[in-house]
Structure 1
Amino acid sequence: MKNLSQLELTSRWPKNHPMFDTRINMYPIGNLKNLWCLRIDCDYGVKDEFLINLCNNAKKLALLTVTGTNISDIELETLNISNCINVTDKSVLLYYLIGTYKRPIVSLINGLAMGASMGIFFHGKYSVATETTQCGVPEVLVGLIPGFGASHLFQKKLEGQLGLYLSLTGRSLKGVDVKLTGIATHYVSSSKLPEVTKALLAPGDGDVKKILDEYDEQDPHAESCLSKYTKQLDECFSGDSVEDIIQRLKNDDSEWSQGVLKLLDKISPTSLKVAKKAFEKEKELGLVESLKMEFIVAQNMMIKKSDFEEGVRAQIIDKDYKPSWNPPTLDQVTDKYVENCRN
């Protein structure tokens, strides 16, 4: 397992900084010779020895069960600035480990997988959605930008401007749409997950993709909830700036574009501009560089009296859903500030 210096992460990381912290709980299930099976509960703790065992013992694949919970279920006292930064900088190495793991990782997404927990499965080779799956990158709703190398992965894995659309609107996708949009690789009814798990865990060197394909329930003629808007989405979100995107949506003047404008109107102007710039920059970057950049941006945005603090107040603590963004308009967010977020 690589350490911080080998990854050449930003100097903001202290040399004695532990790789992981108590936010993601990974523990072995069963005593299997050919597989190290892990369960990830996205709000709890991780232990170094389990990740070391993952590297040393997984012979065929690693199976992850992603069952994130609603953020309202998390104790509110943990949602302070220092704790949020602590979670962010510890998560970077986990994403790197999953994203560069040599054996196939299969994620069974049974429930919520929002933000950071989406990063856990999206870095792996295979992911299985069910009718209970809901995933997305809602960070802009609380004054941040998507993390986990999202902008890099979206441009690598998703078609057209879908990734930018999801990043700027904070919209989530559910059920089979997670597969149809390309976020998940397979779709299976949740009632069949035990069968899928048993087949994957069976002794021998079975073809992982073939097993998943056999259980995949997707109708080859089905279309996602966004498919009929693909042309409009790609045209509008190809704008050179957030202002250009908004103008294109206004020019489109359809029921769909008006709905998107209402979504964007709720988002922090600062988050919109910083997220758009990150998307542009990460097109040129590899995974490690993208993770480093997003970590620095998160640190610079998670400060007192920031849109992040206000977003958490409005969306999670007070739940009045009426954030007072500062600055309140796009034209007041300077290019200098956007650039400084990356430094």
Structure 2
Amino acid sequence: MSDFAPGPTGTDEVLFAVDGSLGRILLNRPRAINSLTRDMVVAVRAQLLAWAQDDAVDVVSIEGAGERGFCAGGDVRAVREAHLAGTSGGVDFWADEYVLDAQIAEYPKPVVALMDGVVMGGGLGISMFAAARWTTERSRVAMPETIIGFFPDVAATYLLSRAPGETGTHVAMTGTTFTGADAVYLGLADAVVDHTLLPHLVQAIAGGGPVEPVPAGAGTSEDSALAAARGWIDECYAGDDPAAILRRLRAHDHPDARAAAEEISQRSPLSVAVTLEALRRAEHAGSVREVLETDTLVARGLLVRGDFDEGVRALLVDKDRQPRWGHDSLENVSRAEVLAVFSG
């Protein structure tokens, strides 16, 4: 096996190796659950470009260092700091990240994503469009952005809008964490693999073996709790009115529906409303790249409206979990305000 080493950009936050016919990418910020920095994104983009032209590399894998998870998302604290400092660093990070997501979705060689442990936000952006997407029994997956005044970006709405029934709407609006089996059910992953088997599967591919989205003996969505909850989820999340969805959840007999209502009520009202609009638009999008173009506008639109800075402050900076959102309820978010976010 080749040793992992920094790529041509020099950062040690992501490392690379060629093992047989496999080009391996190792996200290397384990203390931050491999949260993506701009340096990491730029380095991975450069290496993928090089490997696309390298006949010795047939397949690419993306892995996370450490035991905690694959990737907890983008470094939103750095984005907030850049915005508060009046620089374009945050917007630049998203621009680079979305280019990388499209690059993976359109890559000319199979990409294998090892979605073990925590896989959230931008971690899904670099894995859910791979050719083989393997979660494990340890996977904890989410698009939790509404809790920080943001929305499910990285083209997550492209897949979530196509998930069975309204399950994608539920996980997007609440930001709730779900399992590997749920990720398969939603269409974000292909299989649930025992985490101890991942090294063996990687070595088999490095030795020239086939890339199998569902390896022999792997599970799929049999144990999905979301599949079992379709009744109340589909009933409550129908339609385009976020306030009406919240009212139905609050009034429903099922305790999980009322729990979802409580989750949504703690999120940024503007972000929740924007998320529903993004989902409904993405359902009609023709490509991942088209959704990423919309995400670029929405990210900029939300960044200048205050809830993102406040949400990151409350959750990750001061950690008081007491955000002061710009709206006190979903009912007070106007349709005009939502549409304005989509204009950038």
Is TM more than 0.5 here?
yes
Task: Quote the offset at 1:292 in angstroms.
Answer: 0.8
How many percent identity over aligned positions?
23
Is the CA contact (8 Å cut-off) linking 2:70 and 2:114 kept in structure 1? no
TM-score normalised to the size of structure 1?
Answer: 0.83
Is the CA contact (8 Å cut-off) linking 1:129 and 1:187 kept in structure 2? yes
Within the alignment, does 1:43 sit opposite 2:36 as a pair? yes
Is the CA contact (8 Å cut-off) linking 2:73 and 2:123 kept in structure 1? no
Moved segments of 4+, more than 6 Å: 21-24
- 1:234-273 equivalence runs, <5 A: 234-273=234-273
Within the alignment, does 1:208 sit opposite 2:232 as a pair? no
Work out which of the residue numbers 97, 122, 142 in structure 2 matches 1:136.
142
Within the alignment, does 1:63 sit opposite 2:61 as a pair? yes
Paired residue secondary structure (1:192): helix
Paired residue secondary structure (1:29): strand
Within the alignment, does 1:91 sit opposite 2:97 as a pair? yes
Is the CA contact (8 Å cut-off) linking 1:60 and 1:104 kept in structure 2? yes
TM-score normalised to the size of structure 2?
Answer: 0.83
- For 1:22 and 1:86, the matched residues in 2 are separated by 20
Within the alignment, does 1:29 sit opposite 2:17 as a pair? yes
1:212-262 residue CA offsets vs partner (Å, 9 max, x unmatched):
52251x288x32122321111112111331122122223423211111111
The alpha-carbon distance between structure 1 residues 111 and 219, as it changes in their structure 2 partners (threshold 3 A), is: closer
- For 1:24 and 1:105, the matched residues in 2 are separated by 22
Structural RMSD (CA): 2.7
Paired residue secondary structure (1:122): coil
The alpha-carbon distance between structure 1 residues 71 and 264, as it changes in their structure 2 partners (threshold 3 A), is: same
Match of 1:192 in 2: 197
Is the CA contact (8 Å cut-off) linking 1:23 and 1:87 kept in structure 2? no
Is the CA contact (8 Å cut-off) linking 1:239 and 1:248 kept in structure 2? no
The alpha-carbon distance between structure 1 residues 23 and 309, as it changes in their structure 2 partners (threshold 3 A), is: farther
1:1-38 residue CA offsets vs partner (Å, 9 max, x unmatched):
xxxxxxxxxxxxxxxxxxxx999955431353x33222
Task: Quote the offset at 1:119 in angstroms.
Answer: 1.1
1:154-202 residue CA offsets vs partner (Å, 9 max, x unmatched):
224x211111111100001134443455432112222221111111111
Within the alignment, does 1:52 sit opposite 2:49 as a pair? yes
* Count of matched residue positions in the alignment of Structure 1 and Structure 2: 314
Match of 2:159 in 1: 153
Paired residue secondary structure (1:113): strand
Match of 1:183 in 2: 188
Letter in 1 for 2:124: M
Mean CA deviation greater in 321-330 or 74-83:
74-83
Match of 1:120 in 2: 126
Mean CA deviation greater in 55-64 or 227-236:
55-64
Is the CA contact (8 Å cut-off) linking 2:79 and 2:93 kept in structure 1? no
Within the alignment, does 1:288 sit opposite 2:289 as a pair? yes
Paired residue secondary structure (2:199): helix
Is the CA contact (8 Å cut-off) linking 1:310 and 1:325 kept in structure 2? yes
- For 1:75 and 1:336, the matched residues in 2 are separated by 27
Paired residue secondary structure (2:25): strand
Mean CA deviation greater in 110-119 or 82-91:
82-91
- For 2:157 and 2:22, the matched residues in 1 are separated by 31
Is the CA contact (8 Å cut-off) linking 1:27 and 1:50 kept in structure 2? no
Paired residue secondary structure (1:214): coil
- For 1:24 and 1:273, the matched residues in 2 are separated by 39
Q: Which runs of 5+ in 2 are unaligned?
A: 1-8, 29-34
Work out which of the residue numbers 170, 173, 191 in structure 2 matches 1:168.
173
Task: Quote the offset at 1:76 in angstroms.
Answer: 5.2
Letter in 2 for 1:36: G
Letter in 2 for 1:308: F
Letter in 1 for 2:26: R
Paired residue secondary structure (1:107): strand
Mean CA deviation greater in 162-171 or 226-235:
226-235
Task: Quote the offset at 1:50 in angstroms.
Answer: 1.0
- For 2:11 and 2:330, the matched residues in 1 are separated by 34
- For 1:24 and 1:87, the matched residues in 2 are separated by 18
Task: Quote the offset at 1:207 in angstroms.
Answer: 2.8
Task: Quote the offset at 1:270 in angstroms.
Answer: 0.3
Q: Which runs of 5+ in 1 are unaligned?
A: 1-20
The alpha-carbon distance between structure 1 residues 91 and 250, as it changes in their structure 2 partners (threshold 3 A), is: same
Within the alignment, does 1:320 sit opposite 2:313 as a pair? no
- For 1:77 and 1:37, the matched residues in 2 are separated by 27
1:15-71 residue CA offsets vs partner (Å, 9 max, x unmatched):
xxxxxx999955431353x33222234434232541221211265322111444557
